[in-house]
A and B are shown apart, each in its own frame.
Chain A
Amino acid sequence: MVNVDTAQAQGAAERGRIMSNLGRVLRYTLVRGLTLLATVVVAVYLTILIANGGGYVDQMRISQVREQVITQMGADPMMAQLTVQQRKELEEERIRVRIEQLGLDRPFMVRSFEYLWNGLTLNLGSAEYLLSDSGSREVRNILGERLPSTLLLMATSQLLLFFSALFVALFLSRRYGSFLDKLIIALAPNSAAPGWFYGIFLILIFAAVLGWLPFGGMIDAPPPQNPWLRALSIAKHMVLPVLAMFISSIFSSIYTWRTFFLIYSSEDYVEMAKAKGLSDRQIERRYVLRPTLPTIVTSFSLMLITLWVGAIVLETVFAWPGIGRLTQQAINLFDTPVIVANTVIYAYLLALTLFLLDIIYALVDPRVKLGGGGNRS
């Protein structure tokens, strides 16, 4: 009987601990979620303020409306019959109506909050100037049209980069101090130069001098009808930009991962495993990769988000019709809705990923203290 009682008491204590743990996880999740949401709101609002030049874009748009109306009326033969006075009045009237239609009569501060609300509720609205290739003004359609090409380019290069860096780093961490290891360390600083910089060199060598690969763009013009030839053409156009991104970060990411793995392979339990006579493979899988898994997952998920942003300059240099180039076009045209939509989606993706990672950490990694805040950031 006594045994049963203690077992029950133990069970209750266990349950209690789980409950309180769960409670802490929930509270932590809630607090974390709210802070991240607030962060997103502030970041998006800042973007709106900056993208509108603090109301400067409004002024520009008003003068544009004025100009449009005046040219329109100048082209209208009916206007010639009116007196100067009448024409002036009509002009003012039309400008006023147009400005009201566009909502430009309300103060910018009021409208900035409207932008914020629309942005946060992913009501992306329509672009001011940009059109999608199919002629749509909807920001949703414009982004949707560019997304596949950016995803194709970025996913290919980033996945290639991520996994090859990981495997080479694992390989090097076993052979550290070898010639190859030293070579990679020596080459690591090359990542100071951005991808587009290497892109220019690659274009010079492979497009201008050798003529093997195209200068830029995504597909031959006119596009081939046969789907296989199409794919081949796109692949041909992708080689250089992917290579440029690859070169610009492969060595430094191998270096980072290698150092990281080295730190973990000098732990005592790894030495112990070695002493037990386990094979390199087993040591790697059980004692090196397992504790580093959270970090690998984090960096993988952060890498996934960067796919969305695209690469502004690289896409410009290679004339790749992706999100990055769209961003640049939108910025040059002062197309606020597109810029804001892009930032909002990025902010959401980032915040969501951070949030999920936090929760996964809290659940999986026993070393992460919950709710304590303080030392964690």
Chain B
Amino acid sequence: MKNALRQIKSYPSAVAGLAIILLLVALAIFAVIKIPYQEAVALWRGGDNVWLETPRNARPAWFNWFYKEKQPVTIVRRTTDETAEKMVADLGGGVKMIDTILEFDYHYDGFPQELAIFLQATYQAARPNVNFVWVTPDGREIALNELQVRQSESYRISQDSRLERRLGGVKPEIALFQDPKNPGKVLKGTYQLRAEGLVFEEGSTVDASLVVYGKLHGLAGTDHRRRDLMVALLWGAPVALSFGLLAAVGSSLTTMILAAASVWFGGWVDWVIRRINEIVMILPLLPILIMVGLFYSRSIWVILGVVIALGIFGSGILSYRAMFLQVKESGYIEAARAYGASNGRIIFRYLVPRILPVLIPGFVIQVPSYVFLEATLSVLGLGDPLLPTWGKLLSDAQSNGALMNGYFYWVLEPAALLMLAGLGFVMLGYALDRIFNPRLREL
């Protein structure tokens, strides 16, 4: 083993492959610690309030580094913030006037994607009343809307068609930000939203938060349901690694043991194993997996089990069989038989270890194909219903026409990670193949 490690060092591709794998493992561990399973599932399912304040289909924030025209990232201002300017005037009889000014700087070249105000109120019977006024950097005041606030309310300014008509048929998120002297350009500077609230009861409150949705978000961007792609990119790592590794190890080890048993016992055992093999080779793998996904369970563990069960058979078992047939005749097996070793001992202690050098590179090389199999199933809409994975990102991107609409990041990010994972294992596997099977080095 030490020897193997030293040899790995002499193969640059193996070192690079190993580095990539370690990186992915680190990413996987980080993901699991940072976002625990339950939280990841909840985030990805995304109930009503999980992704309220993220933009739709936003590109990653680092896009700004490459473009001269800077696009906005999301700005959120809340009346509960320390920085919010608050003026409270008691008008008597429980009636209070609460004026809050939400202020933010806007120095981007692009218009925001959307504008919304989310309100929360507490009251007994009389709903608080809020009037919103938009103040531009050049001092214009634009009245937005007056609302009677229920316990929780959202006012999507961008969808206010009356406001749009008042603004001359221009979309509010553009009209409110554009320079009147220079239409189509953003007026940069400090904007204010004045919330003039009236509460009618003792102890009644009203809070508002203004969300200026940007066109960029975070390191990874967001999808059509406002979810941060980062969650799936991070969680894709542990899922892909464990699926790929378990499937590869599970199926290749079982294949080997079956092949060994088939050779060792011969007779009817051999016959049965070979017939089962022929049957499974006729069954089409992907349609079977799809049907299992539809009828029984789309849980990744069930699919994994079926993949292993079907992956056991195939051409691999035949080539292992051929190898074992040679090994079976060697002298040390005869010696083992002579001292009365049991069948199990011969198979597990003498036959299987002999072929391990062939097995290890083989299963490392197999890992990527299983990683891609998970992605393939996801693209067909049969991914795990709960877990966010790389394949599911690709599937969402595919079904929402990401390529046609120009959301390339949505496809490229998971694809790059998938490729990285594939590359790491394949590079390591091919190098291991050369280390463990010196005969290959000549070819």
Contact = CB atoms under 8 A, between A and B. Distances in A.
Contacts of B443: 176, 259, 262-263
A54 B291 CA distance: 11
Contacts of B283: 43, 46-47, 343
Contacts of B365: 189, 192
B408 A208 contact: yes
Contacts of B288: 47, 50
User: B279, B404, B429: which has the most chain A beta carbons within 10 Å?
Assistant: B279
B282 A197 contact: no
Nearest to B379: A313
Contact of A39 (B279, B427, B429): B279
Contacts of A377: 274, 318, 321
B294 A201 contact: no
A346 B284 contact: yes
Contacts of B427: 189
B275 A39 contact: yes
- Is the contact region of chain B dominated by helix, strand, or loop, or is it mixed? helix
Contacts of A176: 443
Interface string B354-379: 00000000000100110010011001
Interface residues of A, number: 53
A189 B321 contact: no
Contact of B398 (A39, A40, A43, A317): A317
A328 interface: yes
A289 interface: no
A245 interface: no
Q: Closest 4 A-B residue pairs measured CB to CB?
A: A53-B295, A189-B426, A192-B368, A43-B282
A375 B427 CA distance: 34
Given A43-B280, A197-B415, A200-B415, 11 more contacts: A43-B282, A50-B288, A56-B295, A189-B429, A193-B422, A204-B408, A208-B403, A215-B404, A316-B380, A317-B379, A331-B290
Interface of B: 274-275, 278-284, 286-288, 290-292, 294-296, 318, 321, 325, 365, 368-369, 372, 375-376, 379-381, 394, 398, 403-404, 406, 408, 411-412, 415, 418-419, 422-423, 425-427, 429-430, 443
Nearest to B381: A332
A302 B379 CA distance: 27
Contacts of A339: 287, 291
B291 A197 contact: no
Contacts of B274: 377
Contacts of B294: 53, 331-332, 334
21 contacts: A36-B278, A40-B282, A43-B280, A50-B291, A50-B292, A53-B294, A53-B295, A176-B443, A189-B365, A192-B422, A200-B411, A204-B412, A208-B403, A208-B408, A215-B404, A259-B443, A309-B284, A313-B379, A332-B381, A350-B282, A377-B321
Given A208-B403, A339-B287, A312 B415 contact: no
B297 to A, nearest CB: 11
B372 A328 contact: no
A313 B381 CA distance: 11
Given A208-B406, A313-B379, A328 B426 contact: no
A339 B292 CA distance: 13
Contacts of A53: 291, 294-296
Contacts of B408: 204, 208-209
A194 interface: yes
Contacts of B295: 50, 53-54, 56-57
A288 B286 CA distance: 37
A197 to B, nearest CB: 7
Contacts of B369: 192
A192 B426 contact: yes
A36 B375 CA distance: 34
A39 B282 contact: yes
Nearest to B429: A189
A51 interface: yes
Contact of B279 (A46, A197, A342, A375): A46
A309 B284 CA distance: 9
Contact of A193 (B380, B403, B406, B418): B418
User: B280, B292, B422, B443: which has the most chain A beta carbons within 10 Å?
Assistant: B443
Contact of B379 (A51, A316, A331): A316
Contacts of A193: 368, 372, 418-419, 422
Contact of A312 (B287, B291, B398, B419): B287
A22 interface: no
Interface in A196-221: 196-197, 200-201, 203-204, 207-209, 215
User: A189, A328, A332, A339: which has the most chain B beta carbons within 10 Å?
Assistant: A189
